[in-house]
Structure 1
Amino acid sequence: METVIVLLTRDLRVHDHPALAEACARARSVVPLFVQDPAIRARGRQRFLNEALQDLRASLRERGGDLVVRRGDPVEETMRLAAELGAEAVFTSADVSAYARRRERRLAEACAAHRLLLRLFPGVTVVPPGALQPTGGDHYRVFTPYWRAWSGAARRPVLPAPDAVSLAPGVEPGELPPPGPPHGMLPGGETAGRGRLEHWLAHGLAGYAEGHDDLPRERTSMLSPYLRFGCVSPSEVAARAEGRHGGDAFVRQICWRDFYYQVALAFPDLPRRDYRERQVDWNDDGEAAQAWREGRTGLPIVDAGMRQLAAEGWMHNRARLITGSYLTRRLKVHWRIGGEHFADLLLDADIPDNWGNWQWVAGTGNDTRPNRVLNPVRQAKKFDPDGEYVRRYVPELAGLPVEAVHEPWKLARPLPGYPAPLVALDNG
């Protein structure tokens, strides 16, 4: 083929990129295209996204190519560029959200109308969503059987980055989107993501199994924002972690990500509707929800997690479970309220993981124990026993003994500047 457009969405990398690799192998000219879609809000992730695009442009230029950037409807802009260049094909990575699937259907119709070849490639997950199906069903509803099937599934090979990318002559690259306001501590891009992966494999993975719930020391990889934007390949992450000390527990979490992608493929209403119907009298309490967002609930471990999220665009996974359980089980606020707030602020928020986890913690999702309730005080004493995590993010409590850090309402006098709990807690 003479010219292929590689439409990039959530696969902003050059390493282990099946669509890009195939285009470079098959075509004389390759046009990597990213379309700024005004229908998709970057929310708090604009700067991370822009840094990822800058890094991708630099990597492509090192290989003789470039990143072509346009703004508008992705299907219309792809067709316009294809007509300008006389392209013969469009390659892109398959995705699972309702919006992504509509975009793929529209792209297929447009390519057919313009006699262009369209090919969808894997790359967003380790095992393609829909590739594994239980007997008598269209997807796995419980994680453990999926984990068994996923562990034995065939894997595609991890691909090297192309040596060269030959851009079609005369293409105007276009300007990258504005950087957006600072948000979060992690820099965007494949270079940063691969650096974090190397450091994690060398220094963090071995202790993951016993340390991943350690709130104050953050003994997790923090690779999820890079996975969310495809700055690192989930297949490469899994392949390089498997077989190492601590690798099994970590790869299991990669499998959880794949699990929710296959759930979202089968149930595209995951962000909007109960996956499993439960009769819950949700509490329409805007003040309680706002106190939760601001980290002013009077529950120190909950407030610490919410303030970490606001300050860093990140929250430890254990804190996500605690804050989510508190909102949905104690305050009885609908899981969609929590999911929207996380979607606004988390650098790693994507549709399958974010909404799958919120439904799990609310008891409407894939949890086999839908009545599970996490007691925030017991969780704090177990996973932040010295109160270090709470003190870091709730400075009002910094000078208190650890017992008071966990349960300040038990002090003889109310603590100035810190609220009383929104709801009473027992110790069960």
Structure 2
Amino acid sequence: MELLVRDAELLVVDGEREIPGGWLATAGGRVTAVGPAGTEPEAQATVSAAGRLITPGLVNTHHHIYQNLTRAYAPAVNGSLFDWLTTLYPLWAALDEEAAHVSAYVGMAELLMGGCTTSSDHLYVHPRPGLVDAEIRAARDIGFRFHATRGSMTRSVEDGGLPPRSVTQTDEEVLADSERLIRAHHDPSPGALIRVALVPCSPFSVTRELMTATAELAERHDVRLHTHLAEDRDEDTYCLRTYGCRPVEYFEDTGWMSDRTWVAHCIYPNDAELRRLAAAGVGVAHCPSSNMLIGGGTARVREMREMGLPVGIGCDGSASTDHASLWMETRGALLLGRYRDGPGAMTARDALDIATHGSARCLGRGDEPGHLRPGACADLVVWDLHEVARAGAFSDPVEAWLRCGPARAWTTVVAGRVLVDRGEPVPPGLADALRTHGRIARRMQQDV
């Protein structure tokens, strides 16, 4: 036995089991046993939860990590989604391998501090080669569980799209590099730390031919598919004008309507479209803060879950949400669910289930992360809530975790390795990465 985490106030094993005073043991990157106080085994290393809450690690289903280089960029913060994109695309055209690596390194450290142990990343601007490889190097340097994605945009403003030509590629370039990345990095084995998915930016930012070919490539290599869908009302207008149909119909026509797929936002499907998505098993990444900040509506999370859609949490881009805290997004899902559908629509345990089990389903991780039963990936968080913020909250540690706050990850463990210790990320290269990140971010924002 390699690691024992003990002395919890409460250990949340999954949506069915909670252990007051619980402990958890790991070996070989897996949970080997859980139990109540007084039954702990011997272990090579011990972490004290010191009366804190232990939960499964949170899983991030939608992100644009490179955008932490343009956080809270003043000229873009108050526009519509399309205004925001067209303002920032020219800045992102400066992205290179160094920028992709350092933004991923810093972004993953931030995710770990917010209790995230697994994340996907939607990297869809490719002004230079090797950007996804650079992100994967950062994940391996840290030991983070990472679903890298090969995003794409092929329809520039000259072709009736939104982005400049400098951040788009041809269909042939995208498909060739997608296949290369799958062969080089995708690990389908149980408990894998690195997997690869294919992720056009949106159905209207690539050609119909590429949407269809990407779905076929994913089927051949048994990898997952992801894109933005039904995020903005302008998308309806654009698709009707360009393709003669609504976004969900176009999505289905190009071969994407399957349980291999999860989509971001999914705010504006009509009732019939939502039923078709549910019947196909399409997952949804719910991004509460980003949608509220952009003012673009919110997903019908309660209805989606009742229909059986896998629903997970996404923190979305670091230049729209401007943070990468899955705790904040999980709390946002709690608040927004209750605001939208009434106080009985969402509890803290519901929100935790979305951010763990629901998110893991979106990423196609089966029954590995998202819970802490024996055999699960040893991905967990010991949460710290300051005694002043917690004062008076004695009846329910899980509700207190999201209602009080802010909470932070005191200890974050991925595959049995401690990556946040006493609230601080442990990757040794973080200080150097922050200095490099600052240099690149200032240059990127000043050069345009």
TM range (shorter): under 0.3
Q: Choose 1 or 2 for highest CA Rg.
A: 1
Report the TM-score when normalising by structure 1: 0.24
Structure having the higher helix fraction is 1
Structure having the higher strand fraction is 2
Report the TM-score when normalising by structure 2: 0.24
